[in-house]
Amino acid sequence: MKRILDWPLMANNVTRDDLDRLIAHLQRPDPRLTHGPEVRAFERDWAEWTGVKHCVLVNSGSSANELTMLALRHLKGDGEVIVPPLTWVSDIASVMFAGLTPVFADINPCTLGMDAKEILSKVTPRTKAVFLTHILGYNALTRELVDGLGARGIPLVEDVCESHGATFEGRRCGSWGWASNFSFYYAHHLSTIEGGAVCTNDEELYEICRMMRSHGMTREIESPEARSGWPERHPDLNPDFIFAYASHNMRATEIQGVLGRAQLPRLDANNEKRRSNLRKFLAGLDSSRFFTEFDQEGSSNYAFTLVLREPDAGLRDRIETALRAAKVEFRRGTSGGGNQLRQPYLRRAFPDIRPEDFPRVDHIHFFGWYIGNYPDLDPEKIPALCLLVNEA
């Protein structure tokens, strides 16, 4: 009889200690609940941990994507953004919402991120940025890409939503780009239940993101000198209500700030558990059946990546049957449901783009999965999982 593993995608990501910190905040006399000092404190802590000057906390990772793309369009103008077909829907949607045009590049199977040569081959005079996703904890940066974009003057935007703590050349992912986006969704490495952030070293981008986070209001500008210029240029307006940009309300809450600050001190140790679990998982797989050459250097693994070495619909179906029988939760197609070019929203927007023209992403779409990896996972279950799929 096969062992029942009872293996969810995530467990215990918000701990009792986190909730106790939150309760203590709520028990203060007249506690502040909306955007305030706890948000600002977490922004400073997260910026320092990531290795950047600035952080803007928002209500979700998707809002971080949209905020960055809106700012990019304002600062760089109309044009194209190179994006992966293997990513979360909001990365591509945010490009479209901003009135920019997504251009797609296939992936490197060893990282699941866009391949550097594919990216650089798609650069044109209309390219305004490259929006690179670090998939499931794997670093997707290469020296070829960093140098190639630098030589061409193309801004890099990093999506680090699933990869808190991943590194490239000893520096954390999220510190390399003109901007970087994070998500603090319940299942991610660090959780504020919902939440996200834009990080940057660029002062102008930082101030624009602060304004655009809050309806485009100039009173959100941090620099007193920059803020004072707006009332001088618009003396007919109430200085408290000058809207420099058409934008949304993407503000975070104090609850998110409290939870983020509670979780950050244990993030590095938790990431080491994730890396150890990944090593054990990949070592236990039958490498004649499964792709095991993932680049683990710099990984802060978010989920186990299980990918068939060759297309095999029969084996795929047997594996899914075995996983369900053992109560192992999984997601086929890995991040965001696989090849986004097969999704209805992109089929309508780009009917002439063929999903099968991106064969490495398409293989993941049909023959790849992710399975939960998290700090509370019992590592003794990993050999049992490997045996389960090896024998399917």
Mean pLDDT of 139-154: 98
Distance of CA 40 to the CA centre of its chain: 21
* Residue 364 burial (CB count, 10 A): 28
What's the pLDDT band for 68 if we cut at 50, 70, 90? very high
Q: What angle do CA 295, 190, 197 make, to 5 degrees?
A: 95
DSSP-derived secondary structure for 74-112: HHH-S-EEEE-SBS-HHHHHHHHHTT-EEEE-PBPTTTS
154 touches 105 (CB < 8 A): no
Q: Produce one character per residue of 240-249: b if its CB has 16 or more CB atoms within 10 Å, e if not.
A: eebebeebbe
How far apart are alpha carbons 346 and 368 in whole angstroms? 21
At residue 12, the pLDDT reads: 82
At residue 252, the pLDDT reads: 98
At residue 1, the pLDDT reads: 53
At residue 145, the pLDDT reads: 98
At residue 242, the pLDDT reads: 98
Rounded mean pLDDT of the chain? 97
Mean pLDDT of 72-90: 98
168 touches 141 (CB < 8 A): yes
Residue given tokens 């975070």 in the structure block: 252
How far apart are alpha carbons 149 and 130 in whole angstroms? 8
Cβ neighbors of 153 (< 8 A, separation 6 or more) are none
- Give residue-wise pLDDT tens across range 315-370: 999 999 999 999 999 999 998 899 999 999 999 999 999 999 999 999 999 999 99
How far apart are alpha carbons 127 and 180 in whole angstroms? 18
How far apart are alpha carbons 252 and 102 in whole angstroms? 28
Residue given tokens 């707006």 in the structure block: 230
DSSP-derived secondary structure for 336-361: GGSBGGGSHHHHHH-TT--GGGSHHH
DSSP-derived secondary structure for 21-63: HHHHHHTSSS---BSSHHHHHHHHHHHHHHT-SEEEEES-HHH
Q: Is residue 389 scored above 80 in pLDDT?
A: yes
- Give residue-wise pLDDT tens across range 200-242: 999 999 999 999 999 999 999 999 998 999 999 999 999 999 9
What's the pLDDT band for 162 if we cut at 50, 70, 90? very high
Helical (H) or strand (E) element with 69: helix 61-76
Q: Which residues pair with 251 in a beta bridge?
A: 58
How far apart are alpha carbons 87 and 287 in whole angstroms? 26
What's the pLDDT band for 3 if we cut at 50, 70, 90? confident
- Give residue-wise pLDDT tens across range 245-269: 999 999 999 999 999 999 999 999 9
- Report DSSP state, residue 328: B
Domains, the chain, ordered by start = 16-264 (3.40.640.10), 267-390 (3.90.1150.10)
- Give residue-wise pLDDT tens across range 20-42: 999 999 999 999 999 999 999 99
At residue 2, the pLDDT reads: 67
At residue 11, the pLDDT reads: 87
Share of the chain above pLDDT 70, in %: 99
